[in-house]
């Protein structure tokens, strides 16, 4: 969808989206989500102003509530029912945005893709960029006509706790951790209570913010260099992880933008790994 050969095929510009406002085949989703420390209320911001036609995608609500972990991936049936009620089918063009840009929208981009949607994109610059450029917004909440979303779940794209244990033991798959450097080293406490500090042994630190600039995903050359600097071998498999499975998808987006397809996302992430007493935890930079 991007004409610039050095930009990700999975992001669209604000210009591209504005030209398609009102196109019934283009579905727009506001997928903003924030940690308490960010002091932003995504639902209130959506109700105050959103891109015309956009529907709010609640990452806390569209989740598996039985897992005991935050916003765990829902079953294909739950996901299909929720997005079908939003008037979305698996063949629609779906554009997902968040507040700052490349923050929480990639998680929903990833969810749709592993549930079988074929044309899913992230809005470069997010809502903050959209508003800063004086583009149209509305308070009007859409009333979509329900559709059937036919989910075809790619279970192989999701790493379970048992699989993650095996990865840590064998080191055959590279682990890319999207949390901030201080949380990775264990020098900063986790924002969630009850979690140990540090990282999975063998993991590489790739803080989610290194992949974007000004809310826009960096070009392919810069993304490639970011992985090289972190010591990631792009010819080998990668599992992405973070605090709760949300910003890990930023690394997934960057990998897939570069044509790397042998990657999975550890949905439990540090909320699961760091919350258990029986998992190995490393501290420091290595």
Active site residues: 242
Structure tokens at 171: 């080191």
Query: Of 239, 177, 244, whose CA–CA distance to 207 is shortest?
Result: 177
* Residue 159 φ then ψ, to 5°: -95, 130
Coil, strand or helix at 42: helix
β 212-213/216-217 pair status:
antiparallel
Structure tokens at 159: 């790493």
Cβ contacts of 229-233, under 8 Å, gap ≥ 24: 230/176, 230/204, 230/205, 230/206, 231/204, 232/174, 232/176, 232/204, 232/206, 233/174
Q: Is the dihedral of CA 12, 15, 16, 17 positive or negative?
A: positive
Helices (H), the chain: 14-19, 42-48, 76-85, 105-114, 126-132, 161-170, 181-185, 220-229, 248-257, 269-273
Question: What is the residue-wise DSSP string for 221-260?
Answer: HHHHHHHHHTT--TTS-EEEE-SSSSTHHHHHHHHHHTT-
CA pair distance 13, 2, nearest whole angstrom: 8
Region label for 55, one of left (φ > 0), alpha (ψ between -120 and 50) or beta (otherwise): beta
């Amino acid at each position: 969808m991007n004409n610039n050969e050095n930009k990700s095929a999975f992001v669209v510009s604000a210009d591209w989206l504005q030209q398609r406002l009102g196109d019934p085949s283009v579905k727009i989703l506001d997928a903003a989500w924030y940690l308490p420390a960010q002091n932003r209320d995504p639902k209130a911001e959506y109700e105050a102003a959103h891109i015309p036609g956009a529907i709010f995608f609640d990452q806390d609500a569209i989740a598996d509530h039985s897992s005991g972990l935050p916003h765990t991936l829902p079953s294909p049936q739950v996901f299909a029912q929720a997005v079908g009620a939003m008037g979305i089918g698996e063949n629609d063009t779906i554009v997902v945005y968040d507040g700052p840009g490349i923050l929480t929208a990639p998680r929903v981009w990833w969810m749709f893709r592993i549930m079988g949607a074929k044309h899913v994109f992230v809005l470069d610059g997010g809502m903050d960029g959209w508003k800063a450029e004086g583009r149209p917004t509305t308070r009007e909440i859409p009333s979509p006509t329900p559709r059937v979303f036919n989910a075809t779940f790619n279970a192989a794209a999701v790493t379970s706790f048992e699989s993650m244990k095996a990865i840590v033991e064998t080191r055959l798959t590279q682990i890319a951790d999207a949390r901030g450097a201080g949380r990775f080293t264990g020098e900063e406490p986790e924002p969630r209570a009850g979690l140990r500090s540090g990282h999975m042994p063998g993991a590489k630190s790739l803080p989610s913010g290194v992949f974007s600039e000004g809310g826009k995903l960096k070009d392919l050359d810069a993304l490639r260099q970011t992985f090289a600097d972190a010591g990631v071998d792009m010819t080998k498999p990668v599992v992405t992880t973070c605090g709760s499975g949300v910003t890990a998808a930023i690394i997934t987006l960057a990998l897939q933008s570069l044509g790397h397809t042998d990657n999975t996302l550890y949905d439990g992430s540090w909320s699961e790994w760091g919350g258990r007493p029986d998992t190995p935890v490393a501290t420091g930079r290595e």
